Amino acid sequence: MDAFPMFPLGAVLLPGEPLSLQVFEPRYLTMVDECTSSPDRMRFGVVLISRGHEVGGGDERTDVGTVARIVSARPVAGGRVLLECRGAGRIRILDWLADDPYPRARVRDWPDEPGAVGDGVLDAVTDRVTSLGEVLGALAGRVGRPAPVLPMLADLPGDAGEQTYALAARLPLGAADRRRVLSAPGPGERLEALAEALDDVLAAARFRLAQ
């Protein structure tokens, strides 16, 4: 795909996940104007900035991203535009083009690759989500807040690929773990990445609870 518009961010967008953006940089205002000029152009790519900042350019970017489909674009105060988007398909970045007039890249769609889910990995993720919910509930109770409700994979809509993305989007994962989830070839590997990420999240939550 030639010259696909790109929006590097300091966060990872997962397929199916909502995304709100306040656009104010002139280059991205130009991008939004062009993306919204026709119904068949209402999308752009989102990738994680691995080093650097969102504003001003000069950043380093990862090579896996997600297509963001524009749901609405609304002008707000200060010449900004409020975008409401939703993550669609996953993409690989083949190579970056010039940032003039805004970041662009040649990309290729990257659907889930076929593969089996390993024995026990689904149970491992379910057990970790259950344990995390209990620990987060205890932490919330300390400060008088309601316990968070973490979903179970089987309760989420869609096929296995959509369910694993949806679960990851609802868990308190950092950008690095979300990137690993996004970069997993298929649902089985994604569940393995989730199980490993949840080990770290659980350890941190239990440390906080023990203090």
Kindly list the structural domains of the chain, giving each domain's residue range(s) and its CATH number in brackets, ordered by start: 4-109 (2.30.130.40), 121-210 (no CATH)
Reference 197, options 211, 184, 210, 186; nearest CA is: 184
pLDDT tens across 45-84, in order?
999 987 655 545 556 788 999 999 999 999 999 999 999 9
| CA–centroid distance for 72 within its chain | 19
Q: For the segment 26-37, what is each residue's pLDDT rounded down to a tens digit?
A: 999 999 999 999
Cβ 81 vs Cβ 73: under 8 Å: yes
Phi/psi region, residue 190 (left: phi>0; alpha: psi -120 to 50; beta: rest), is alpha
* pTM beyond 0.85, yes or no: yes
